[in-house]
């Protein structure tokens, strides 16, 4: 089953750019997990599931032994240079297509076209709802980071929108969309445009308030959006992935993935994938890496996802719970078929 | 251990009637999971854990090979006819008794007596709190669907009840009990009658607001009910089954099951059963199918529950964590002993 | 791997005293789990994961066969006497140091010094925030039991504190600190003193309101405390241990354990430990028993924790996910190294 999955190109329906420059150890550690800061009190971020998985699976791509020590890993990374490192990991991921979120660029990152060139696969753009782009295949909401996911179901009225926009414009400092009304308004705009809407859900960095990132908070909005047929894609979801699976089952237009969490859980990724696939129908589950900054995550996310899914499917076949042909069909749906259908991708 | 469990009749302490008529594929899929609607965007509901488990375990009961294709399965189902299909699955479940919830009849379903005849076991009635029945062995609250489970602990006063009833009667349209006060009032009435009270908790269809179905919301009410000794049965519970297990441990009158979720999780049901049995004392866990509409669920729920429990108990014996005689005793409690004691069933 | 872990002394960074007297069966059962009361309706508390684990692992320490019947176990316990029983279990735990919470003494318990003597290890004191102690290595907050964990991030002002203290003093009955302001004030006092602060989180007895014990409720306060460097230790955490692991990753000063839940989950403890170690960096995880009343819990907590951690680490080694030297190093950090660093213990 793993052989079959390794032969299946993945569509990574949510990822970001990677850094085009070399990194010192402290910087690398900060990119390695969602940690706010790294301090001696808490130890190295290499001592995490993500760090252990990276040393196991990324070291050989750089011609090192598995489990190479962190300093050896970083020395080899610098020796090869960022361009070669990025090339190797994007190629290793085995992608059929990428949908790149271009809405968060704290420092220069590789552009979608360049990522696509390295991956030898078409790269599509996902835009933040606050922006506009004729060529995007989807829009992304970061309401979880701003207003929380408890968005009302009703489409906001014009007076409500004008008032909220006025408050935003009159506020001091750079404008930051924290108003629930404006997030809702933008989501309905995307629905009008027929664009699939991705939501950041659950796991993220220390700036998120995880309690306000539970996908169940979206229930009213999902109920209101269902009749429009707008695909809603719940990203990441951990530790609320079972809640997300429930929503994917009961609402016809809701889809889920386990991006970001997959590589952060490392050796435990199979448990996450198995729990996600409890209530979520197999036609509702997608792959994403949510890779950001480090090219390693393209490889690690793809590898851990393939291995975790292969284990679940192979166990089911071995126990007679499902036929092998069904398992292979489900693998094809989850690796690429579902994403291709939902985003109407050409490849 | 599985052989022993297969020889133990189950008491299904919460189920519904099944359809006496044949079904087209679209209808069958709608009954197969809790999905609101089935659309081409999300794929077939046969491509779910529930669908895969049904093809694996129900096909042979209809003389088909395991993993029969959905269309072949439905053709054979129609060929045999609903009466024969219902007879086969109710018999296959191996039941000692059934407690049938008769409070939700969107279209004609088999009556408890008829279900009991097919299962060759006594059938008892569970009535909705809003109704009255001298012969019921328990009452069912669907507060989770109406007011949410955040019910206050205090018994409501007469003036409060009268005011709430007045509001209900004056409301337009068919009366629908959404008032927290009235749900609480009805629960205290059941307690006065000495009736065990079942609560819909967690997992259900798209009409529920899952956030308001967390059993921890009942904490205040459970604390108030504890001195009355009224048994409270938390049904379904997924994905809050660990929360439910906690309540079962700390409150003397709280009991739990994993109905509905067991057959929806299919191959993953053992994980659910293992998690439920973390904090929940073994004297507090019951079996239910929550079968509704499709007779398959009587068979599937019973089979997956027996297999999941057998696996957990057998692993414990194999690892020396408990003695085989204790494992067999626990199996007897959970399959039927606990239900018999709580509902005071004669058989 | 298990052999190696059995050779590693544990630092139990949160425990309580044990009873110096013999116990009748009903009393023993009340101490065995967090159950409010034990009734015939719910069955014996020996029929729990905790009870089964106790019979398996504690019976041999009293020279009985594994799985001894509860009455035989208690007869032998009385025959040996509490002093000998306590001596055996504290020694069996294999401790390097203990941090004893002395804030809850409903009846006479062994003092820290006496526990240390029995364990042949230094015993340190953890004081309740409401108290003061120059010798304590940490302070403990039970806000979860009083005000809930939804504490604001801001340090309260003097007028606010004075007003809240006035309300407390004017209240009837014995003073009970339920005011959110006062809990916050005390936490900031501990931070000023440079004391690590332990929080009761999640699982506890029927007096807690588990919903208000979700560690995510602390997010604002944790964000405010991060710049002070005050170590915050989230205790117990079940069933919110994945939420706690997230906080441990994203906040530099947050640490987690699985005390109390470890022995209550018995045979299922490995699942808990594996889930805790998903997002929590390995430098952020500590061991505690949260033993209270029964000396058995010192042994059971230590044994189940060592076995669960050994299983996770050994599986990773067997699957090639990490090198054995890394696994051993992580075991050393989690059993004692992290606690020694955070509490600045001499041994």
Strands of the sheet containing C232-236, edge to edge, are C10-15, C95-101, C123-128, C138-141, C197-201, C232-236, C254-256
Q: Which chain B residue has the Cα nearest residue C262?
A: B278
For A41, the closest of C220, C250, C253 (CB atoms) is: C253
Q: Cβ–Cβ contacts within 10 Å for residue C336, how many?
A: 23
Residue C285 phi/psi, 5-degree rounding, is -110, 135
Polymer length in residues for chain A: 347
Range C294-298 contact pairs with CB under 8 angstroms and sequence separation of 24 or more: C294/C18, C294/C19, C294/C28, C294/C31, C294/C32, C295/C18, C295/C85, C295/C86, C295/C88, C295/C89, C295/C90, C296/C54, C296/C58, C296/C89, C297/C263, C298/C12, C298/C15, C298/C18, C298/C89, C298/C90, C298/C92, C298/C93, C298/C95, C298/C119
Q: Which chain B residue has the Cα nearest residue A318?
A: B267
Q: What average pLDDT does the segment C85-92 reach?
A: 96
Any residues with CB less than 8 A from the CB of A262 and at least 6 apart, and which?
A269, A272, A273, A289, A301, A304, A305, A308
- Flag whether C144 is in a domain: yes
User: Above 90 in pLDDT, residue B31?
Assistant: yes
Which two structure tokens, joined as six digits, stand for C295?
């000396």
Which two structure tokens, joined as six digits, stand for B311?
């696996």
Q: Would the CB atoms of A326 and B205 count as touching at under 8 Å?
A: no
- Flag whether B49 is in a domain: no
- Residue B40 pLDDT level (bands cut at 50, 70, 90): confident
User: Above 70 in pLDDT, residue B133?
Assistant: no
Q: Would the CB atoms of B265 and A253 count as touching at under 8 Å?
A: no
The span from the CA of C181 to the CA of C221, in Å, is 12
User: Above 90 in pLDDT, residue C171?
Assistant: no
Which two structure tokens, joined as six digits, stand for C214?
């979700």
- Which residues on chain A are in Cβ contact (under 8 Å) with B268? 274-275, 277-278
- Flag whether C124 is in a domain: yes
For A283, the closest of B43, B66, B239 (CB atoms) is: B43
Which two structure tokens, joined as six digits, stand for B246?
């906690």
The span from the CA of B347 to the CA of B96, in Å, is 7
Q: Would the CB atoms of C210 and B246 count as touching at under 8 Å?
A: yes
Residue identified by tokens 């695909």 is A231
Q: What's the domain range around C110?
A: 1-22+81-343
The span from the CA of A13 to the CA of A15, in Å, is 7
- Which residues on chain C are in Cβ contact (under 8 Å) with B281? 33, 35, 42-45, 47-48
- Which residues on chain B are in Cβ contact (under 8 Å) with A326? 52, 67
The span from the CA of B229 to the CA of B232, in Å, is 9
Specify the range with the lowest mean pLDDT, choosing from A316-320, A338-342, B167-171, C307-311.
B167-171
Distances in Å between the alpha carbon of C91 and those of B57, C94, C115, C254? 52, 6, 10, 30
Residue identified by tokens 């940690």 is A35
pLDDT at B347: 65
Contact (CB, 8 A) for C90 and C118: yes
- Flag whether B42 is in a domain: no
Q: Would the CB atoms of A42 and C283 count as touching at under 8 Å?
A: yes
Specify the range with the lowest mean pLDDT, choosing from B285-294, C40-49, C277-286.
C40-49
pLDDT at C133: 67
Q: Which chain C residue has the Cα nearest residue A38?
A: C252
Strand partners for B255: B233
For B281, the closest of C45, C66, C210 (CB atoms) is: C45
Three-state DSSP state, B211: helix
- Residue B134 pLDDT level (bands cut at 50, 70, 90): confident
Other chains touching B, judged by 3 or more CB pairs under 8 Å: A, C
Strands of the sheet containing B10-15, edge to edge, are B10-15, B95-101, B123-128, B138-141, B197-201, B232-236, B254-256
Any residues with CB less than 8 A from the CB of C337 and at least 6 apart, and which?
none
The span from the CA of B231 to the CA of B245, in Å, is 15
* Crossing angle for the helix pair C296-318 and C269-276, to the nearest 10 degrees: 60
Alpha-helical (H) ranges within chain A are: 2-6, 25-32, 49-57, 70-80, 82-92, 112-119, 143-146, 158-170, 180-193, 219-225, 241-250, 261-265, 269-276, 296-318, 324-332, 338-343
Residue identified by tokens 């089979």 is B303
Nearest CA to B182 out of B208, B152, B220, B209 is that of B152
Nearest CA to A133 out of A125, A122, A141, A121 is that of A125
Contact (CB, 8 A) for C256 and C288: no
Residue identified by tokens 């696994």 is C327
The span from the CA of C235 to the CA of C256, in Å, is 6
B201 CA to chain A: closest CA distance, Å?
A: 14
- Flag whether B58 is in a domain: no
Nearest CA to B291 out of B301, B281, B279 is that of B301
| Mean pLDDT of all residues belonging to chain C | 93
- Which residues on chain A are in Cβ contact (under 8 Å) with C252? 35-39, 41-42
The span from the CA of B28 to the CA of B77, in Å, is 11
Distances in Å between the alpha carbon of B219 and those of A92, B224, C210? 51, 9, 8
Contact (CB, 8 A) for C221 and C153: yes
Interface of B with A (CB under 8 A): 33-39, 41-45, 47-49, 52-53, 55-56, 66-67, 203, 205-206, 209-211, 238-239, 264-268, 271-272
Q: What average pLDDT does the segment B302-325 reach?
A: 95
The span from the CA of C174 to the CA of A10, in Å, is 64
Report residue A121 CA to chain centroid gap.
Answer: 18
Residue identified by tokens 């955490």 is C237
Identify the H or E element spanning C236.
strand C232-236
For B342, the closest of C41, C48, C268 (CB atoms) is: C41
DSSP secondary structure of C73-134: HHHHHHHH-HHHHHHHHHHHT-EEEEEEE-S--SS----HHHHHHHHTS-EEEEEETTS--T
- Residue B174 pLDDT level (bands cut at 50, 70, 90): confident
User: Above 70 in pLDDT, residue C166?
Assistant: yes
Interface of A with B (CB under 8 A): 214, 216-217, 219-220, 223, 226, 229, 231, 242-243, 246, 248-253, 255, 274-275, 277-279, 281-284, 316, 319-323, 326, 330, 333, 338, 341-342
C-interface mutation test, from A239, A263, A275, most C Cβ less than 10 A away? A239
Q: Which chain A residue has the Cα nearest residue C271?
A: A271
- Flag whether A298 is in a domain: yes
For B316, the closest of C39, C210, C267 (CB atoms) is: C267
Strand partners for A98: A12, A123
Q: Would the CB atoms of C37 and B338 count as touching at under 8 Å?
A: no
Q: What average pLDDT does the segment C132-159 reach?
A: 89
User: Above 90 in pLDDT, residue B222?
Assistant: yes
Contact (CB, 8 A) for B171 and B164: no
User: Above 80 in pLDDT, residue C134?
Assistant: no
- Flag whether B186 is in a domain: yes
B51 CA to chain A: closest CA distance, Å?
A: 9
- Which residues on chain C are in Cβ contact (under 8 Å) with B250? 34-36, 205-206
C-interface mutation test, from B148, B247, B283, most C Cβ less than 10 A away? B283
Q: Would the CB atoms of C284 and A43 count as touching at under 8 Å?
A: yes
Q: Would the CB atoms of A53 and C249 count as touching at under 8 Å?
A: no
The span from the CA of A247 to the CA of A308, in Å, is 22
Contact (CB, 8 A) for A183 and A143: yes
| Low pLDDT (below 70) residues in chain A | 133, 347
pLDDT at C178: 85
The span from the CA of A304 to the CA of A322, in Å, is 22
Three-state DSSP state, B315: helix
Residue C202 phi/psi, 5-degree rounding, is 70, -135
- Which residues on chain C are in Cβ contact (under 8 Å) with A43? 281-284, 333, 338
Interface of B with C (CB under 8 A): 214, 216-217, 219-220, 223, 226, 229, 231, 242-243, 246, 248-253, 255, 274-275, 277-279, 281-284, 316, 319-323, 326, 330, 333, 338, 341-342
Any residues with CB less than 8 A from the CB of B79 and at least 6 apart, and which?
none
Distances in Å between the alpha carbon of A317 and those of A182, A314, B56, B310? 48, 5, 11, 20
Report ipTM (2 d.p.).
Answer: 0.93
Range B60-67 contact pairs with CB under 8 angstroms and sequence separation of 24 or more: B61/B88, B61/B89, B61/B92, B61/B299, B62/B88, B66/A320, B66/A323, B67/A322, B67/A323, B67/A326
Other chains touching C, judged by 3 or more CB pairs under 8 Å: A, B
- Which residues on chain A are in Cβ contact (under 8 Å) with B66? 320, 323
The span from the CA of B95 to the CA of B305, in Å, is 13
- Which residues on chain C are in Cβ contact (under 8 Å) with B219? 209-211
Q: Would the CB atoms of B44 and A283 count as touching at under 8 Å?
A: yes
pLDDT at C347: 65
For B210, the closest of A243, A248, A316 (CB atoms) is: A243
Pairing verdict, β A95-101 and A123-128: parallel
Report the number of distinct structural domains present in chain B: 1
- Which residues on chain B are in Cβ contact (under 8 Å) with A242? 238-239
Contact (CB, 8 A) for A249 and B35: yes
- Flag whether A174 is in a domain: yes
Contact (CB, 8 A) for C43 and B281: yes
Q: Would the CB atoms of B210 and A246 count as touching at under 8 Å?
A: yes
Q: Cβ–Cβ contacts within 10 Å for residue A140, how many?
A: 26
Contact (CB, 8 A) for A198 and A127: no
- Residue B271 pLDDT level (bands cut at 50, 70, 90): very high
Q: What is the pLDDT of residues C199-253, one digit of tens each?
A: 999 999 988 899 999 999 999 999 999 999 999 999 999 999 999 999 999 999 9
Three-state DSSP state, A10: strand
Q: What is the pLDDT of residues B273-288, one digit of tens each?
A: 999 999 999 999 999 9
- Which residues on chain C are in Cβ contact (under 8 Å) with A32? none
CA angle, residues B257, B261, B264, in degrees to nearest 5 = 150
Q: What average pLDDT does the segment B153-175 reach?
A: 89
- Which residues on chain B are in Cβ contact (under 8 Å) with C203? 246, 279
Report residue B219 CA to chain centroid gap.
Answer: 21
B-interface mutation test, from C2, C49, C214, C261, most B Cβ less than 10 A away? C49
- Residue C132 pLDDT level (bands cut at 50, 70, 90): confident
Other chains touching A, judged by 3 or more CB pairs under 8 Å: B, C
Q: Which chain C residue has the Cα nearest residue A304?
A: C321
Distances in Å between the alpha carbon of C156 and those of C3, C153, C161? 50, 9, 7
- Tell me the CATH number at B315: 3.20.20.140
Q: Which chain A residue has the Cα nearest residue C223?
A: A206
Contact (CB, 8 A) for B302 and B289: yes
Which two structure tokens, joined as six digits, stand for C131?
């108290």
């Amino acid at each position: 089953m793993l052989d079959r999955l390794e032969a299946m190109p993945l569509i990574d329906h949510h990822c970001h750019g990677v850094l085009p420059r070399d990194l010192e150890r402290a910087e690398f550690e900060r990119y390695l997990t969602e940690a706010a800061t790294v301090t001696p009190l808490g130890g190295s971020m290499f001592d995490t599931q993500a760090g252990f998985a990276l040393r196991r699976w990324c070291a050989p791509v750089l011609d090192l032994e598995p489990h190479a020590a962190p300093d050896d890993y970083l020395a080899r990374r610098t020796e090869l240079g960022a361009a070669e490192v990025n090339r190797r990991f994007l190629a290793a991921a085995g992608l059929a297509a990428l949908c790149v979120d271009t809405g968060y660029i704290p420092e220069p990152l590789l552009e979608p076209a360049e990522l696509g060139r390295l991956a030898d696969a078409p790269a599509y753009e996902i835009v933040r709802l606050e922006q506009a782009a004729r060529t995007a295949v989807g829009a992304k909401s970061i309401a979880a980071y701003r207003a929380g996911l408890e968005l009302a179901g009703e489409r906001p009225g014009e007076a409500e929108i004008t008032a909220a926009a006025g408050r935003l414009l009159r506020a001091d400092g750079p404008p930051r969309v924290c108003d629930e009304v404006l997030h809702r308004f933008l989501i309905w705009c995307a629905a009008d445009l027929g664009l699939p809407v991705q939501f950041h859900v659950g796991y993220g960095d220390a700036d998120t308030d995880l309690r306000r990132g539970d996908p169940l908070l979206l229930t009213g909005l999902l109920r209101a959006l269902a009749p429009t047929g707008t695909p809603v894609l719940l990203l990441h979801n951990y530790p609320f992935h079972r809640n997300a699976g429930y929503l994917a089952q009961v609402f016809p237009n809701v889809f889920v993935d386990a991006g970001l969490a997959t590589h952060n859980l490392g050796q435990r990724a199979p448990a996450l994938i198995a729990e996600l696939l409890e209530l979520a129908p197999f036609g509702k589950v997608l792959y994403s890496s949510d890779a950001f900054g480090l090219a390693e995550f393209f490889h690690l996310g793809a590898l851990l996802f393939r291995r975790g899914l292969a284990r679940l499917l192979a166990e089911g076949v071995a126990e007679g719970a499902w036929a092998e042909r069904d398992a292979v069909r489900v693998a094809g749906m989850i690796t690429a078929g579902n994403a291709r259908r939902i985003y109407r991708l050409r490849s």
